[in-house]
Amino acid sequence: MSSVARGRPEQDAGGTRIPAAGTRLTWRWRWELRRQGRADGRRRQPDPLLARPPVQTGVRDLLQSRLLEQAETVREQCVAEIERCREQTEDLAAHERHLHEQIAEYAADLQRTARLRPDPNAALQRRPVERDASEALVRQRRLREWERTRRQQQGRLRAAQARMDESVRERARLERHIEGLDAFAVASARRLQATFDRAEAIHRRALLRRHPQGTLLRLVIDDAPLRLPDWARSWTA
């Protein structure tokens, strides 16, 4: 997953300075959040008497935006992978339909061959080169030829069945992978939420300690968890 560059402070439209957020709370990021919280407190931002509760901070707004942005990046990558896997499963399903026809054809060939086993009591049809060979030798030759044909057909049938089994296993693996990608996207979004919630809490604590009206601000400031994307909130395992 791509992450925003770390270590360089950025500003939102209101001039709030926070470091660009990755997915790990590095010491640098923590330091920047505390420093920004203290700076916002000294500037009395936000003012609890002017803002409507729940009071938002510029840092919280920016973290919320980053959370949604990074979660969507993960989801887009998962969707692209899901589409690729679904194309593969469709190709495998088409391949299995072809193999099913082959297996039916090979099995029919084998059944026909089984019915054509040389009959030791049937009239013997000699080939020109067998004119002087004994009857027993010719019948043994016919039996060996029949057995060779049957073995070849059995091998061809087993190979087709093995390809079918392999395709079915691979398609099942891809389908499990697709299901796992949905869960992975949601789990990644929730991990991002937890990280950004911790970041927001660091800034909020520093802000409340330094703000002249910190006691009042504590009562009205928004301290709810940051919002997940709709697709992550509605997902059920």
Task: Give the number of residues written for the chain.
Answer: 237
Assign 9 a pLDDT band (cuts: 50, 70, 90): very low
Give mean pLDDT, residues 68-88: 94
Q: How large a percentage of the chain has pLDDT more than 70?
A: 89
pLDDT of residue 1: 35
Answer for the pair 62, 12: CB distance below 8 angstroms, yes or no: yes
pLDDT of residue 10: 45
Q: Residue 3 domain-assigned?
A: no
In angstroms, the CA 96 to CA 118 distance is 35
3-state secondary structure of 119: coil
Assign 19 a pLDDT band (cuts: 50, 70, 90): very low
pLDDT of residue 148: 94
Please write the tens of the pLDDT for every residue from 203-234.
999 999 999 999 999 999 999 999 999 999 87
Range of the domain at 105: 9-233
Please write the tens of the pLDDT for every residue from 52-66.
889 999 999 999 999
pLDDT of 68 above 70: yes
Q: Residue 4 domain-assigned?
A: no
pLDDT of residue 236: 55
DSSP 4-69: PPPSSEEE-TT--EEEPP-SS--HHHHHHHHHHHHHHHHTT-S-TTTSPSSBP-HHHHHHHHHHHH
In angstroms, the CA 206 to CA 132 distance is 109
pLDDT of residue 11: 45
pLDDT of residue 8: 40
pLDDT of 122 above 90: no
Number of neighbours of residue 2 by Cβ within 10 angstroms? 8
Answer for the pair 78, 184: CB distance below 8 angstroms, yes or no: yes
- Total domains, the chain: 1
Please write the tens of the pLDDT for every residue from 168-188.
999 999 999 999 998 899 999
Lowest mean pLDDT among 2-16, 127-141, 156-170: 2-16
Q: Residue 129 domain-assigned?
A: yes
In angstroms, the CA 96 to CA 87 distance is 14
Q: Residue 180 domain-assigned?
A: yes
Q: Residue 228 domain-assigned?
A: yes
Contacts (Cβ under 8 Å, ≥6 apart) of 204: 37, 57, 60, 221, 223
Contacts (Cβ under 8 Å, ≥6 apart) of 203: 18, 33, 34, 36, 37, 40, 57, 59, 60
Assign 14 a pLDDT band (cuts: 50, 70, 90): very low
Q: Residue 74 domain-assigned?
A: yes
pLDDT of 73 above 60: yes
Amino acid, single-letter form, for residue 14: G
Answer for the pair 229, 69: CB distance below 8 angstroms, yes or no: no
Q: Residue 2 domain-assigned?
A: no
pLDDT of residue 81: 93
DSSP 62-113: HHHHHHHHHHHHHHHHHHHHHHHHHHHHHHHHHHHHHHHHHHHHHHHHHHHH
